[in-house]
Structure 1
Amino acid sequence: MTAQVRSPAAPAVALAGSGRVKKTRRPARVAALVFMITMTVLWIVPIVFALYVSLRPVEDTAKNGYFSLPHGLTLGNFTGAWVQSDMQQYFLNSVIITVPAVIVTLFLASCVAFVLTRVPFRFNVALLILFTAGNLLPQQVIITPLYRLYLLIPVPEWVSENGLLYNSYAGLILINVCFQLGFCVFVLSNYMKSIPHEIYEAAVVDGASLWIRYRRLTLPLCRPALAALATLLTTWIYNDFFWAIVLIQRGDKRPITSALANLQGQFVSNQNMIAAAALIAAIPTLIVYVALQKQFIAGLSLGSTKG
């Protein structure tokens, strides 16, 4: 037997090499840390400044400017914004529009994604491309034809009191569902493809129908993706201002984003009260994010550990 002789210089070389790796990684880590801190500060500063302005009396900012030290803080801007803009009614309008739109979008998107990924047929890839391509269409392009359609298409009176999609909750729900459906189908179809085929094969052997495989097997496994999409959809639809202005004529049916526009004066605007109203309007989206935080983070990391 021959004894293996190890060179004493080998560990030293290895340690020196690891030291060089650490030295080369340290500047990169410092740069990444500085970048993240900078982006965080840039993201938080507008929110903190809006809170600072909303707590100052309008007379104080008018006399000393917005970037001066406060001579007093008050919650009067929040109460004034709530009363003057009739926020209670606008909050109710946003709930009536957002909740059904999110539920319908997720239900239809999950159904379409399940069929595209688990039911083999010739045009499944083409349909997936078609749904995805719908997200590339700018909303402003279809204002005129959509406006005319909403004035021509009759609907039952239980859907809209005027018999049209225009100036109705149903019209806003429909347009939000149409524009958000493609993105949700794309995300859910990619996630459903990662579910092992053996699970569905076992379900088929047990006699599970297509509906049972969708409702009892696929939906529970897609809970993180559905929660992440629900958080994003709630934020996007709740904050929509464009379609509310175009498709809603009466102010008492517009969502919460329109309440901020009601605080704008013709000649002078109370920016302190507008800042307070904007913070009040942001509370529901924060509640949704906090409630679905774990599922949302899990949904964002989908597929990160695969491969």
Structure 2
Amino acid sequence: MTVDTAPAPAVPSPSPTAPRTRGRLRVRPARLGLHAFLLAVSLAFLAPLLLAVYASLRPYEETARHGYFSLPRNLSFDYYRQAFLDSGMTKYFVNSLLIAVPGVLLALFLASFVAFAVARLRMRGGMVLLMLFTAGNLLPQQVIVTPLYVLFNRVPLPYWMSESMTMYDSYWAVIAVQVGFQLGFCVFVLANFMRTLPHEILEAAVVDGAGVWTQYWRITLPLCRPALAALGTLQFTWMYNDFLWALVFVSDGDKLPITSALNNLRGQFFTDYNLLAAGSVIVALPTILVFLILQRHFIAGLTLGSSKG
């Protein structure tokens, strides 16, 4: 009894031009040069921060004698403890959060309204409105410092909102300016983001009887989470690091934000720059923490549409 066996299929030999999936991969010089360039740019941006951290760990006498780029002989975290205690940063951290958090939420909330009307409702004159909001970013902030100072001294507020009975010397003045200047950028980004969303989703919602508010709050905003996270990260960084507006519109030293607390580390006749570097690193920690928390959504918001053909 004989059994017929089918011949085994021939295995095609790998083409010399086909990319290798196993073994050693060949790195092209162009890609190697690109990675070297990106590494150099990253180090250039990180150099000031790394130098500040390095200086904050060394005593001032050592850097004054041997220079900031010399090898360390003594490293400690004493300057961080001294900077946090001597400047009273806890109070100033709270002041910055009272300005930055409401400012970010208001800017994103108001900007999403305008962006939804421009991008999704197809209102007449929407493009002109978008151009006006975008053009507001071109106005130099320093130009309107004096008019806003006079205006805020004349706008009344109840005592429970401001001890000065006006917008001047209150958090409301700083928040209003921050939201006003950042609103145009947020509208521009969100409007372009919303235009990439499929219109069939809203059409299906309209067929099911969804109103404008439902289309905005329950359908559009959840889809805009990556863009909102990216904008929230940027807006918090900008509002938190702002120094000009609080210095102009707040006269009470106990209401100043964290950026002004660094002035408390400067002496009248002598400034320990290593101590100032430690304070700067502490001040930067909240923005780094916010970025780490929203990193996934932040990157998704920046790269959305990059692969769209």
Matches within 5 A, 1:107-256: 107-256=109-258
Distance 2:45 2:187 in 1: 30
Structure 2 counterpart of 1:70: 72
Q: 1:303 aligns with which of 293, 302, 305?
A: 305
How far 1:31 moved relative to its partner?
Answer: 2.7
Structure 1: unaligned runs, 5 residues or longer: 1-11, 16-24
Residue aligned with 1:153, SS: coil
Distance 1:82 1:170 in 2: 27
Query: Is the Cα–Cα contact under 8 Å of residues 169 and 252 in structure 2 kept in the other structure?
Result: yes
The one-letter amino acid paired with 2:207 is V
Matches within 5 A, 1:94-109: 94-109=96-111
Structure 2 counterpart of 1:38: 40
Deviations 1:39-83 (A, max 9, x none): 111122221111111011122223333222222112111111111
Deviations 1:148-188 (A, max 9, x none): 11111112222212111111111111110001110000000
Q: 1:290 aligns with which of 285, 289, 292?
A: 292
Residue aligned with 1:152, SS: coil
- Paired residues in the alignment total 288
Distance 1:221 1:213 in 2: 11
The one-letter amino acid paired with 2:117 is V
Q: TM-score, normalised by structure 1?
A: 0.90
Structure 2 counterpart of 1:55: 57
The one-letter amino acid paired with 1:205 is V
Structure 1 counterpart of 2:3: none
Residue aligned with 2:71, SS: coil
Distance 2:162 2:222 in 1: 35
Report the structure, 1 or 2, having the larger helix content.
Answer: 1
Distance 2:291 2:96 in 1: 17
Matches within 5 A, 1:81-96: 81-96=83-98
Deviations 1:1-48 (A, max 9, x none): xxxxxxxxxxx9x96xxxxxxxxx944323322211111111222211
Structure 2 counterpart of 1:259: 261
How far 1:121 moved relative to its partner?
Answer: 2.7
The one-letter amino acid paired with 2:295 is Q
CA root-mean-square deviation: 1.8
The one-letter amino acid paired with 2:292 is V
Structure 2: unaligned runs, 5 residues or longer: 1-14, 18-26
Residue aligned with 2:236, SS: helix
How far 1:196 moved relative to its partner?
Answer: 1.0
Query: Is the Cα–Cα contact under 8 Å of residues 133 and 183 in structure 2 kept in the other structure?
Result: yes
The one-letter amino acid paired with 1:243 is W
The one-letter amino acid paired with 1:58 is Y
Q: TM-score, normalised by structure 2?
A: 0.89
How far 1:209 moved relative to its partner?
Answer: 0.6
